[in-house]
Structure 1
Amino acid sequence: MVLSPRHARLLLGAIALGLAAVQFIPVFMGRALYEISLLSAHVGATTAIVYLMVGQSGRRKEGEGVPVLDLVCALLALACAVYFFRQGGRVAERIEGVDPVYTSDYVFGIVLILLLVEAARRIAGIVLAALAVLFIVYVFAGPYLPGPLAHSGMSLKRFIDLQVLSDQGIFGTPISASANMVFYFVIVGAFLERSGAGRLFVDLAYCATGRAWGGAAKAGVVSSGLFGTVSGSAVANVLMSGVVTIPLMRRTGFKANFAGAVEATASTGGQLAPPVMGAAAFILADIVGVSYGTVAYAAIVPAALFYLSLYVLVDSHARRHGLAPNKDLPLAESWRGFRERWHVLLPLVLMVYLLTSQYSLMRVGAVTMVAIIVVSWLRPVTRLGLKDIYAALVSGARSAAEVAVPSAVAGIIVGALVHTGMALHLERWLLDVAGSSLFVSLLGAMFLTLVFGMGMPTAAAYLVAAILVGPALQNLGVPPLEAHLFIFYFSVLSMVTPPVALAAYAAAGVSGGSLWTTGLISFGLAIPGFIIPFAFVSDPSLLLQGDALDIVRTVGTAVVGVCATAAASGGFALGRLSTPARAALFAGGVLLIVPDNASEIAGLVLLVLVMGWQLRFARGQAGAAGGGAAKPDACSETSTS
């Protein structure tokens, strides 16, 4: 027995509208809900959405029905939402560990936990689900375990009390951030997409870079970066903007694997770029206990360095392979598209203003959504009708589910870690492995974060790493914001890190290239991004903290260093770079990025030596050509790779 596709779409739409109504009641009616009422509605609705849109073996295709078992799971999730929604007043007044746990609490609590674990497996992969099961078992098996793994254990009553009747489990900090912050900006992204912002960003980027060296790839970098700031998902960004940018790159001479890699890396970086960044950034702000504006402000320079490196690398690659500018490239259509849609940017300007004016994120997201609808009516091409508004709400709810379910499961893991003492054991283990070396600790944190991020959405990868790795970094003296931004960056970069580089694999599907080769090239393009987090942990000037002169000096040398590493990776700087020159230039760039006087001087010396050699070689070529005796050599930009 199967629920028909039409009825499944209607049910999903009804759930999305119901969720939107619950989420927007506090904003527009001034009627605050009990916290657990809001969070339970958020968790139950998004869990139900997962069962309707994702089957046991993958996402359902268009026109595919929903098996009766999945329908039952969706309805049970909604039943759990209704039950805990009605417990809001009771939970707000009860004393944890003292007041009784009812039989209905056991029933609905156990059902919700089971539904969440399976939903997490479907939407975020086996790693997160397996971790949740492991820690649930660990909670009850503690007295029977050997050595440092042992703990006093926990009764079922205490477990249910913590997980579903307090703010230390499912309804803890991760899901609170998802419901109170992430949801509203996911909806904003869905409305922007529906109003034509994605096409606007492509047109804007193509007009700005289309006639430059490697113009189509540069347009892909700029447009994917712009749209990535509001989409919140690297894979979704690839699938939305890549269908336009990748064919443009292919038509102008870029090979399929490289074109897909550029799009994947640019789309991934969008989650690092203010003003919106990815969903994980909102969760980060809530965990660290700072405003989202503080996080976005600190991320400005690292995000700019990431995109600068990618832009310069594309330019260097284009020059090395002779992908010269096409001055006759027709841009009329792109200019026309830009003129038709430029007003869609106005709500983004309003959003930035509201963010910097200390309004609540809930209100900022809601007002921005209304502004998008109003502004869209200025021109017919962007006008949002009732069907478009409905489609945007459904699309936003589907995207919110990809954050909410992993966040709720992360809450289960957090509760288990804290109340069994395992969090302290993990912290001590990482500190013992690293000793007193901050650099070794950072390497270990990077590796663990990338491993946790394999096959998982960024928000889920960040949550797991923040739980398991964050405390150890802070114990070594890394301030909370720097520690969590470090983890956040590598959670994002896991999307282009083999062996499971989800963004790269999505781009390969669009370009027709090899999954593995596209993933490896994406990893190579993102390498400067792997250096930046180590730099801002060493010197917070890169996060715009500290003395103004130090900030200017550190940012200036980092800009030069990033350009040097990117040019070395692309293989061109005043001419084609030989292998030794590329290695020396890359090393010089890394030394310049590292905020230390001695390393900066060494990096500058290497940079001057390489560029001096390249300039001399270029002049030698020109002189030989003038004498009529020159032949193409290894540094000629027109020679083949």
Structure 2
Amino acid sequence: MMLSGRHARVLVGVIAVALTVTQFAPLAIGRNLFEISMLGVHVGATTAIAYLIFGWRSRRGPDDPVSPLDLMCAALAIACAVYFWFQGARVSERIEGVDEVFTADYVFGLGLIALLLEACRRVAGNVLMLLSAAFIAYVFVGPYLPGPLGHSGMSLMRFVDLQVLSTQGVFGTPISASANMVFYFVIVGAFLERSGAGHLFVDLAYCVTGRAWGGAAKASVVSSGLFGTVSGSAVANVLVDGVITIPLMKRTGFSKDFAGAVEATASTGGQLAPPVMGAAAFILADIVGVSYGSVAYAAIVPAVLFYLSLYVLIDAYSRRHGFAPNAELPVSAALRGLRERWHILVPLGLMIYLLTAQYSLMRVGAVSLAAIVVISWVRASTRMGLKDIYEATVAGARGAAEVAIPSAVAGIIVGVLVHTGMALHLERWILEIAGGSLLISLVGAMLLTLIFGMGMPTAAAYMVAAILVGPALQNLGVPGLAAHLFIFYFAVLSMVTPPVALAAYAAAGISGGSLWNTGLIAFGIAVPGFIIPFAFVFDQGILLDGEALHVVRTVGTAMVGVTATAAASGGYLFGALARPLRFVLFAAGVMLIAPNPTTELLGAGLGGAILVWQLRFASRARRSIVQPS
């Protein structure tokens, strides 16, 4: 018997509320839950939600029915959650590899893994699911493989013991970060969006940039950056922000492909911008063993550099192609909207304060949610009633499911890599191929992470790449935080890297442009940002780590370098740039970003020469500006 769409929504709501109550229960009862109990409920509930909102081939519409098979899978996922909830005390006391594995452990453990693999296929696509299935198969065929590919083998009992009765598999670091960190910020983001934060950020962007060259595109950069700090998802950012910014960019003269590419790149950068940098950043903090505040602090300057490059590139492009300030942009309406919703910034400021004050993320989430609801009552236009609170809770739980399932499946891969010894073999191979060269290792890490990102969500791509290449980079002397931020950045930038650029594809769906052209343009816009991670690996001054004078010099030259590369990409510097000068200016910018006094001086000399040339012939260069058709 099919479950109707209305009843399915009710069931998702019940599970979402139960999950949210469980997540915040430790605050109410004054003590932590058993780790396996908490994680078991998190995995089981989000898996059940996934089967109810995703069909065999695609996401269901609000009125689409749920098949009996999917309903049964959702029920089995809830049964697994209940089982592991009651195993918390036992698992916390048992000795891994020594104590008995019960028959029920096999049934519910293997059942949960099977449910996760299919849910992962629906949520994150085939690549991560097939990769995980291959690693599971490797556990049992490894003893029959030749040479370094082989391993001593693992019994089914040992496999179940490690994967579901310990914190080294399904319930490992990735899902721990999802449950203990990411969930609270996903639900806060859902509440902020429901209270009108998305419209507030768009209004603020138009007030700031509405009368500038290329104002509509710059507004997209500003609003997407602001909204991205609380959404943590590039695709979600595009879908929320792009429906407003992309049509306006098209109306002011930008092509469909360029408008979609600007929104995709700006939305992608939101995951790089503190205070909330997306699921992967929380997982990064857990893997490296530092506080999330330390990660956010280190990411401040790279995020500023990324958005500076976007802003300058759009300014240069707009001036070269004649997209002058447009009086038709809705600045007056934006000012009215800003006056109507400015108070929504108060909960966001409170959340940032609580994060910097080192409160637990659970408490930060609870206080922020309460503040959002209370502050929303200041104005009727933002007021959240019980229906809004319920719908925001459901939206948060649905968003958490799309992070939790890939995280749990990535945990399976991590567990196999570690316990079969494959992680050590891969690290050794990477070091041998690179021949001890840090630059070659970084390029390899970049390419591998971008490849993973083509078929996986950002968090999953980061986790797999972090396990495969993170230790190798650290063995070459790169500090842990810098090494993992490097991998994290390229996992994020994979959202705009063809041939599979998910954020660009989402933007093209709104703009009506070509998927391929939008992806290529988005990649071109993001190119200056590809240099930043290499710079902070070679000099952590960009991560605000070091003596004050050194940090100031490094950040200053990097900002000048990013400006130069962006101006070269946009084709304008006090006048249209000829193609040879664009290549030279871009190279000068790269030299300035590179943290080396010699390259900085050479870059400054080249950039200065081009600047003098452009200033001298500025009037002639301006006359060569191409007017929009």
Q: TM-score, normalised by structure 1?
A: 0.97
Aligned counterpart, 1:306: 306
The corresponding residue for 1:238 is 238
User: What corresponds to 1:449 in structure 2?
Assistant: 449
Correspondences of 1:12-51 after superposition (within 5 Å): 12-51=12-51
> 1:124 Cα shift?
1.0
**Aligned residues of 1:167 and 1:173 also touching (Cα < 8 A):** yes
Q: Is 1:578–1:635's contact at 8 Å kept on the other side of the alignment?
A: no
Question: What does residue range 416-427 of structure 1 map to in structure 2 within 5 Å?
Answer: 416-427=416-427
Distance 2:504 2:176 in 1: 31
Confirm whether residue 567 of structure 1 aligns to residue 567 of structure 2. Answer: yes
Partner Cα separation in structure 1 for residue 65 and residue 559 of structure 2: 52
Determine the structure 1 residue equivalent to 2:507.
Answer: 507
Structure 1 residue aligned with 2:461: 461
**From 620, 625, 629, the counterpart of 1:637:** 625
Please tell me whether residue 7 in structure 1 is matched to residue 17 in structure 2: no
Residue of structure 2 equivalent to 1:337:
337
For residue 558 of structure 2, what is the aligned residue in structure 1?
558
For 2:167 and 2:174, locate their aligned partners in 1 and report how far apart those are by CA, in whole Å: 10
Which SS does the other structure have where 1:58 is aligned?
coil
Shift of 1:639: 4.9
**1:301: how far off?**
0.1
Partner SS, residue 447 of structure 1: helix
Q: Write the letter of the residue equivalent to 1:367.
A: V
Q: Which residue is equivalent to 2:285?
A: 285
Aligned in 2, Cα 1:329/1:423: closer, same or farther, shift over 3 Å?
Answer: closer
Q: Which amino acid in 1 is paired with 2:471?
A: P
* Separation in 1, partners of 2:22, 2:104: 24
Tell me by how many angstroms 1:476 deviates: 1.2
- The answer to whether structure 1 residue 202 and structure 2 residue 202 are counterparts is yes
In structure 1, distance between residues paired with 2:373 and 2:27: 17
Name the SS of the counterpart of 1:32 in structure 2: coil
In structure 1, distance between residues paired with 2:89 and 2:487: 37
Partner of 2:162: 162
Q: Distance in 2 between matches of 1:345 and 1:569?
A: 34
Give the drift of 1:180: 0.5
SS for the counterpart of 2:617 is helix
Please report how far the alpha carbon of residue 471 of structure 1 lies from its aligned counterpart in structure 2 after TM superposition: 1.2
Task: State the identity %.
Answer: 73
Structure 1 distance, partners of 2:506, 2:57, is 18
Q: Classify the secondary structure of the residue corresponding to 1:455.
A: coil
Counterpart CA distance in 1 for 2:327 and 2:547 is 45
- 1:638 CA displacement: 4.8
Establish whether residue 541 from structure 1 lines up as the match of residue 541 from structure 2: yes
Contact 2:216 2:329 survives alignment (8 Å): no
Alignment correspondent of 2:413 = 413
Residue identity in the other structure for 1:352: I
Distance 1:422 1:470 in 2: 14
Alignment of 1:209-248 (within 5 A): 209-248=209-248
The aligned counterpart of 1:325 is 325
Q: What code does the residue aligned with 1:89 have?
A: A
Q: CA RMSD, aligned part only?
A: 1.1
**8 Å Cα contact 1:455-1:501 kept in structure 2:** no
Conserved 8 A contact 1:148-1:425: yes
Separation of aligned partners in 2, 1:317 and 1:634 = 13
Shift in Å, 1:472: 1.2
Name the amino acid aligned to 1:42: H
Which amino acid letter does the alignment assign opposite residue 117 of structure 2?
V
1:102-132 deviation digits (Å, cap 9, x = unpaired): 0000000110010111111111111111111
Cα deviation digits, residues 559-594 of structure 1 (max 9, x gap): 000011001101111111111010011000011000
* Distance in structure 1 (CA, Å) of the matches to 2:315 and 2:577: 14
Residue pairs, 1:21-100, within 5 angstroms? 21-100=21-100
Distance 1:321 1:85 in 2: 61
In structure 2, C-alpha distance between the alignment counterparts of 1:328 and 1:123, rounded to whole Å: 41
Cα offsets for 1:402-434 (capped at 9, x unmatched): 110111111111111111000001111111111
| 1:605 maps onto 2:605 in alignment | yes
Provide the C-alpha distance between the structure 2 equivalents of 1:638 and 1:139, rounded to a whole number of angstroms: 61
**Contact 1:180 1:361 (C-alpha < 8 Å) held by counterparts:** yes
Secondary structure, counterpart of 1:354 in structure 2 = helix
User: Post-superposition shift, 1:327?
Assistant: 4.4
* Divergent runs of 4+, >4 A: 327-330, 638-641
1:363 paired residue number: 363
2:364 match: secondary structure: helix
Cross-structure match for 1:485:
485
Counterparts in 2 of 1:468 and 1:96: CA distance versus 1, 3 Å: same
Q: Separation in 2 of the partners of 1:177 and 1:559?
A: 33
Q: CA shift at 1:544, angstroms?
A: 0.1
Partner amino acid, structure 1, of 2:531? I
Deviations 1:445-466 (A, max 9, x none): 0000000111321111111111
- Aligned-pair CA distance for 1:615: 1.5
Deviations 1:437-491 (A, max 9, x none): 1000000000000001113211111111111111111111111100100000000
Residue number in structure 1 paired with 2:398: 398
State the one-letter code of the partner of 1:393. T
Give the corresponding residue for 1:294.
Answer: 294
Structure 2: where are the runs of 5+ without partners? Answer: none
TM-superposed CA distance for 1:62, in Å, is 2.9
Report the alpha carbon displacement of residue 59 of structure 1 after superposing the two structures with TM.
1.1
Alignment partner of 1:499: what SS?
coil
Number of the residue aligned with 1:473: 473
SS at match of 1:166: coil
Aligned twin of 1:127: 127
Q: More displaced, 489-498 or 64-73?
A: 64-73
Say whether residues 1:440 and 2:440 are aligned partners. Answer: yes
Cα distance in 2 for residues equivalent to 1:439 and 1:133: 33
CA contact 1:124–1:460 (8 Å) conserved in 2: no
Residues 42-81 of structure 1: CA deviation (Å, up to 9, x unaligned): 0000011111111121111231111111111111011000
**Paired amino acid for 1:559:** M
Helix, strand or coil: the match of 1:8?
helix
In structure 2, the partner of 1:618 is: 618
Instruction: Measure the CA separation in 1 of the matches of 2:145 and 2:508.
Output: 46
1:593 equivalent in structure 2: 593
Superposed, which structure 2 residues align to 1:133-152 within 5 Å?
133-152=133-152
Q: Which residue of 2 aligns with 1:348?
A: 348
Q: 1:283 deviation in Å?
A: 0.7
Q: Is the 8 A contact 2:253 2:628 kept in 1?
A: no
Whole-angstrom distance in 2 between the partners of 1:32 and 1:486: 33
Partner of residue 261, structure 2: 261
Structure 1 distance, partners of 2:327, 2:86, is 65
How far residue 32 of structure 1 moved from its aligned partner, in angstroms, is: 2.0
CA 1:394–1:330: 2 relative to 1, 3 Å:
closer
Residues of 1 paired with 2:455 and 2:105: CA distance? 33
Distance 2:183 2:403 in 1: 9
Match of 1:372?
A: 372
CA contact (8 A) 2:319 2:625 kept: yes
Q: Is the 8 A contact 2:6 2:62 kept in 1?
A: no
Letter in 1 for 2:383: R
For the 8 Å contact 2:128–2:455, the answer to whether it is kept is no
TM-score (norm. length: structure 2): 0.99
- State how far apart, in whole Å, the 2-side matches of 1:638 and 1:142 are: 62
Conserved 8 A contact 2:195-2:344: yes
For 1:495 and 1:167, the matched residues in 2 are separated by 30
Partner of 1:626: none
Partner Cα distance (1:486, 1:196) in 2 = 33
The one-letter amino acid of 1:489's match is Y
Aligned counterparts, 1:177-192, within 5 A: 177-192=177-192
Please report how far the alpha carbon of residue 596 of structure 1 lies from its aligned counterpart in structure 2 after TM superposition.
0.4
Deviation at 1:634, TM superposition (A): 8.3
Describe the SS at the equivalent of 2:31: coil
Report if aligned partners of 1:498, 1:519 keep a CA contact under 8 Å in 2: yes
Is the 8 Å Cα contact of residues 578 and 634 (structure 1) preserved in structure 2?
A: no
